[in-house]
Amino acid sequence: MAQKIKFGDVDVDVELPSFDFNKFGKILPIVLLLILASFSFYTVDAYENGVILRLGKYSHTTPPGLHFKIPLIDQVKLVKVDKQFKREFGFRTIKAGVQTQYSKRNYYHESWMLTGDLNIADVRWIIQYKIKNAADYLFNVRDVENTIRDVSEAALRLMIGDRSFTEVIQTERVIIADNAKKYMQQILDDYDSGISIKMVQLQSVLPPQPVADSYNEVVRAEQEEEKLENEANQAFNKEIFRAEGEAKKLINEAKGYAVERINRAKGEATLFNLVLKEYNKAPKITKDRYYIEKMNEIYSKIENKVIVDTRLENFLPMLNVKNKENK
């Protein structure tokens, strides 16, 4: 259909396309139906839950898969329930990897904590959590992320405040992390936050930087003192064990000597009784035999022997020495 259109002082004939409203009316419902269908279905991924709001009010939660919703009435919010989230306290990671980069900014407002003995510890930790209930996560707590950070800080400050500086730095780090996890979970459950705390880990527990050098000197002195004490205890124990060994050796030797003397005395007593028995049977023969045996034992040890008859007046019978002296 031609129509004249005026551009300034010039009239221009423009051919406008004709439009068949009857034909368009037939396909319009089909187009509207396709548009409504495209807005009526939604997909929930494997690691998500879908939270359905009907006219702005919570209706229900859908699992992973393809689902139907009422267009313009239902609104879907997807929540990652199988993802594990991590939050850092006292430090921030800029780039993770083989050479992890950390922010140079200090976070002392998070990490500096007062111990039970009124010292300050620089505590840096991480928490890992998952969303266990998507609806509670979305609607029961206004600002879940800040709530998690506040609860985590409160839990750590409570645990640190119940312990001495030495316990926090050295001996009870695992216990502190475990108790903080339980405390955080209890508070978040009271809030019906839909959060499950999976891990609390203390990354580092150090003295504050301004006093770190002094603290390290004290630690080195304590370690040196402990080393010397251990060496002294080792030397003491070594001497004690040696002395105990010597004492046991002497006692055993004395016991052995005593047993030997007793057995010898018993043997000699038995022998004496046997000899006495035989002596009583023949005193003269027994006496002579023992005399001969003893003399044989004595003379066997002498190399040069001179036997003199006591009834002789002279050693040499050829010389009458005694008669000469009388003359």
Cβ-contact 181, 137 below 8 angstroms: no
**% of the chain beyond a pLDDT of 90:** 28
DSSP 8-state class, residue 292: H
DSSP 8-state class, residue 56: T
Could you tell me the pLDDT band of residue 94, with boundaries at 50, 70 and 90? confident
Q: Among 173-182, 206-215, 251-260, name the most confident range.
A: 173-182
Distance CA 128, CA 5 (A): 70
Instruction: Check residues 100 and 322 and name the one with the higher pLDDT.
Output: 100
* DSSP-derived 3-state class of residue 48: strand
Instruction: Check residues 294 and 26 and name the one with the higher pLDDT.
Output: 294
Distance CA 175, CA 180 (A): 8
Distances in Å between the Cα of 320 and the Cα atoms of 118, 130, 175, 306 are 121, 137, 118, 19
Could you tell me the pLDDT band of residue 319, with boundaries at 50, 70 and 90? very low
Could you tell me the pLDDT band of residue 20, with boundaries at 50, 70 and 90? low
Count of beta carbons in the 10 Å neighbourhood of residue 30: 9
Q: What single letter denotes the amino acid at residue 60?
A: H
pTM value is 0.58
Distance CA 151, CA 236 (A): 52
Distances in Å between the Cα of 319 and the Cα atoms of 5, 313, 327 are 196, 10, 14
- pLDDT tens per residue across span 150-159: 999 999 999 9
Domain annotation for the chain: domains and CATH numbers:
2-80 (no CATH), 85-206 (3.30.479.30)
What is the structure's pLDDT at 87? Answer: 93
DSSP 8-state class, residue 18: P
Distances in Å between the Cα of 70 and the Cα atoms of 52, 54, 75, 254, 295 are 10, 8, 8, 104, 137
Place of tokens 């034909």: 23
Cβ-contact 191, 140 below 8 angstroms: yes
Angle at 191 between CA 185 and CA 192, to 5 degrees: 85
- pLDDT tens per residue across span 275-294: 777 778 778 777 777 788 87
**What angle do the packed helices 283-299 and 212-281 form, to 10 degrees?**
130
Cβ-contact 122, 154 below 8 angstroms: no
- Judged against a pLDDT cut of 90, whether residue 10 lies above it is answered with no
- Judged against a pLDDT cut of 90, whether residue 311 lies above it is answered with no
Distance CA 327, CA 156 (A): 132
- Provide the β-strand partners of residue 58: 53
48-54 β-sheet, strand order: 57-62, 48-54, 74-80
